[in-house]
Amino acid sequence: MSVNLQTPIDYLKGVGPNRADLLRKELGIHTYQDLINLFPNRYIDRTQYYKISKLQRNNADVQVIGKIIEFKEVAQKRGKRLVATFQDETGTMELVWFRGQKWIRENLKLNKSYVAFGKTNWFSGKYSMPHPELELQEEHEKNLRSAMQPVYPSTEKLSNSGISNKVIIKIMQQLFIETNGNYVETLSDNLRSELKLINKSSALFNIHFPKSQELLSRAQFRLKFEELFYIQLQLIIKNLVHKSKIKGFPFEKVGNYFNTFFKEQLPFELTNAQKRVLKEIRADLGSNAQMNRLLQGDVGSGKTIVALMSMLIALDNDFQACLMAPTEILSVQHYNGLLEMCNNLNISISILTGSSKTSERKKIHNSLENGELQILIGTHALLEDKVKFKNLGLAVIDEQHRFGVAQRSKLWHKNTSPPHVLVMTATPIPRTLAMSVYGDLDISIIDELPPGRKSIKTVHRYDKNRLNVFRFIRDEIAKGRQIYIVYPLIQESESMDYKDLMDGYESISRDFSMPEYQISIVHGKMKPADKEFEMQRFVKGETQIMVATTVIEVGVNVPNASVMIIESAERFGLSQLHQLRGRVGRGAEQSYCILMTSHKLSSDSKTRLETMVRTNDGFEIAEVDLRLRGPGDIMGTQQSGVLNLKIADIIRDNDILQLARFHAKNILKIDKTLSNSENQVILNTYKQLTKYKNIWNYIS
């Protein structure tokens, strides 16, 4: 008989209530299913001896028999590393030591037969093994070895309570005995034969107790594919269901507001990318389904004008629209920008933020409810219960990663039917993440800048070059340009950052003294009114230099500012550097971004700075950022869209992710409801996964 995998872990022989309690608390293992999905981190293989030419790129420890034919010392940043050339009859690899070199040189003999054991790395076209365990072959043969051993994730508490790796192996073996190693197949025969995947039972057995390196690699591939396939399937189905179930308001016409704006008010010719995106949005708005679209475009690519034109379609169909932004500064800027663009259209637009006066609020609430107010712009204030629309047809959300899921759904419920939703972001999301986390949204990308924009020249300078940088600033100001100088602001060291900012401000004031030069300063300790006053002086061109912390990161638009100097640039993340750089380059003149750093740089910092100097492409920058920081950091934990994956890694397994999405899409294209007999297995598995949310249903 097959055991139900939803059986609580307490019932497994050898576990008992105390161990079960620890497994639940420390590793989140509640059921047999959770235990079988506790995959090993690595493997110790003392059963086989590998020829160097037959080594595989996976995470197992291996044994190789060979001879050390030479030692050499290689200089590196700190000290030296010792490298031995290790040879068998099929090829050579390297053994590497970063410490204990003296002992190794004295004790290891050249041209003697050794067994080297350890984890291999693939680097510059050959395998290397750092700090291997080495044993003379004749000594090694006197000791017996057992099978290839899994090493499981653990915690200090588990080890201290006697639940060692050996104990977990024993429990796992017991699970295989109780279930006879028989597991329900979760992928269709078609998929398995097309991709040459091993069956589920074999994959699970070989992930826990691999019979060989090759079977381990096949088991890993099969389980990674399956995990990513069901995530993609779920996202695509969510999107299809959304379109079929959630009816949107069909905006049947493109009328007077849109056409007048397009023919008479458009400040410049739309780029091809903007036209393409508008077409996609118009198709969504004209269908019967609710639009749920993510609009990505680099800083300055013209997303706002696309959002406005989408709002005008709503107005043409007698609906209201709103635009929600994360900060007051950005809301005010959107408001002023839209007022200017809608100048001759006779549209009523208002703004609602935390600092709106009570009398203004009342007026806004009334004119919203009776439908006189057509477009409302604001911050989180739009989410308050008092804010009720007569008929909200389109909600635009700017920089959506700053708003949680719950806040977005509040906007939905402002209406009897949910409005169409356009989510905008200037933080390019790498394709891998977009496919995984936003896979249920339709995605539009504006990937070209408006004509006449020159790309920003970025350079990296060390502190010792400061006098040259100051000379360059003087030349730019003489041409009538304005300058940003930005200092980092990191919560933990706020007082130190504040001191850096003030020291910087003083030295700049000495070099650029009044009355010839005027300087604005903006930082987090100022009152909002003072901040606004200083910002406005800079916007009007009354000051030439703006010294600030990162409060200017989002949305400040001063076309005349052509130089962005980022102090201690090594302390910023890549996406933040890219956002800050986007504050310049908004006019027709050549703009510059200067990254100032000390000489002490970590290798990650170097990669970030080199990437900034090399490219202006936000998507390329986002890919590098993802590799450096990992998906959790980029999404921010509050997003809860982070994938809690059991075995796959969306960065390293990007190719498997793309393959999984391709097959999920294809299957649903032919069989939307998975009702064909060959997809029965997939449908059953999908139902199980969504029923037991604790398995793999980890998407927000």
For residue range 381-440, list pLDDT tens digits in order. 888 888 889 999 999 998 755 555 566 667 666 766 788 989 888 777 776 677 666 666
One domain, residues 608 and 475: yes
pLDDT of residue 207: 93
Give Cα 558 distance to the centre of its chain.
29
Query: Which whole number is the average pLDDT over 660-673?
Result: 93
Closest CA to 461 of 613, 677, 681, 315: 613
More confident residue, 695 or 39: 39
Same domain, 67 and 115: yes
Residues 522 and 433 in one domain: no
Residue 246 placed within a domain: no
- The number of residues making up the chain comes to 700
Q: What is the pLDDT of residue 637?
A: 35
Same structural domain, 144 and 158: no
Single residue among 395, 426, 446 that ends a domain in this structure = 446
SS3 154: coil
CA 484 to CA 557: how far, in whole Å?
12
- Are 36 and 9 within 8 A, CB to CB? no
Measured distance CA(79)–CA(97) in Å, rounded: 12
Per-residue confidence (pLDDT) for residue 544, from 0 to 100: 93
Asked if residue 23 has pLDDT above 70, the reply is yes
641: pLDDT strictly greater than 50? no
Q: Are 613 and 605 in contact (CB under 8 A)?
A: no
Residue 343 and residue 478 share a domain: no
Please indicate, yes or no, whether residues 372 and 353 belong to a single structural domain of this protein: yes
Asked whether the predicted pLDDT for residue 306 surpasses 90, the reply is: yes
pLDDT at 556: 64
pLDDT digits (tens, 9 = 90+) for 76-111: 878 888 999 999 999 999 999 988 888 888 888 899
Say if residue 109 is in the same domain as residue 175.
no
CATH number at residue 302: 3.40.50.300
Q: What is the pLDDT of residue 143?
A: 61
Q: Are 77 and 37 within one domain?
A: no
**In total, how many domains does the chain have?**
4
pLDDT of 666 reads: 93
As a whole number of angstroms, the distance between CA 578 and CA 618 comes to 7
pLDDT (mean) for 301-310: 90
Range of the domain at 280: 256-446
Instruction: Tell whether the model's pLDDT for residue 633 goes beyond 60.
Output: no
> Which residues make Cβ contacts (< 8 Å) with residue 363, sequence separation at least 6?
none
When pLDDT is averaged across residues 158-177 and rounded to a whole number, the result is 88
Residue 492 binned pLDDT confidence (cut-offs 50, 70, 90):
very low
pLDDT at residue 144 is higher than 60: no
423 occurs within a structural domain: yes
Q: Are residues 587 and 464 in the same domain?
A: yes
Residue 598 resides in a domain: yes
**How many Cβ atoms are within 10 Å of 509's Cβ, its own excluded?**
15
Distance from C-alpha of 266 to C-alpha of 262, rounded to nearest angstrom: 6
Q: Is the dihedral of CA 365, 370, 372, 378 positive or negative?
A: positive
Question: Quick one: pLDDT at residue 643?
Answer: 57
Map residue 125 onto helix, strand or coil: coil
Phi, psi of 69 (to 5 degrees): -100, -20
CA 659 to chain centroid: 20
Greater pLDDT, 47 or 658: 658
User: Distance (Å, rounded) from C-alpha 568 to C-alpha 496?
Assistant: 13
Where a domain ends, among 615, 638, 672?
Answer: 615
Q: How many helices (H) and strands (E) does the chain have?
A: 25, 22
Out of 398, 417, 446, pick the residue that ends a domain.
Answer: 446
Owner of token pair 């105390």: 18
The model's confidence at residue 328, banded by pLDDT at 50, 70 and 90, is confident
pLDDT single digits (tens) 508-545: 888 888 888 999 888 877 787 888 888 888 888 899 99
Give the CATH number of the domain where residue 74 resides.
2.40.50.140
263/281 Cα distance (integer angstroms): 19
| Cα–Cα distance for residue pair 288/484, rounded to 1 Å | 47
Average pLDDT value over all residues in the chain: 84
Report whether 246 contacts 78 (CB < 8 A). no
pTM: 0.64
| Domain-embedded: residue 2 | yes
Q: Mean pLDDT throughout 151-161? A: 87
pLDDT value, residue 440:
67
- 3-state class (DSSP) for residue 685: helix
At which residue do the structure tokens 């061109």 appear? Answer: 541
Per the domain annotation, does 120 fall within a domain? yes
Band (pLDDT 50/70/90 cuts) for residue 495 is low
Summarize the confidence of residues 292-318 as an average pLDDT.
89
Taking Cα atoms as reference points, which of 219, 186, 167, 181 lies closest to residue 56? 219
Are 507 and 403 within one domain? no
**pLDDT tens-digit map of 66-81:** 999 999 988 887 888 8
Q: What's the rounded mean pLDDT across residues 672-692? A: 89
**Peptide bond before residue 515 is cis, with ω within 30 degrees of 0:** yes
Structural tokens at position 463: 């502190």
Whether residue 373 is contained in a domain is answered as yes
| 469 within some domain | yes
Q: Is 277 in the same domain as 330?
A: yes
In a domain, 198, yes or no: no
Q: Indicate if 476 and 552 belong to the same structural domain.
A: yes
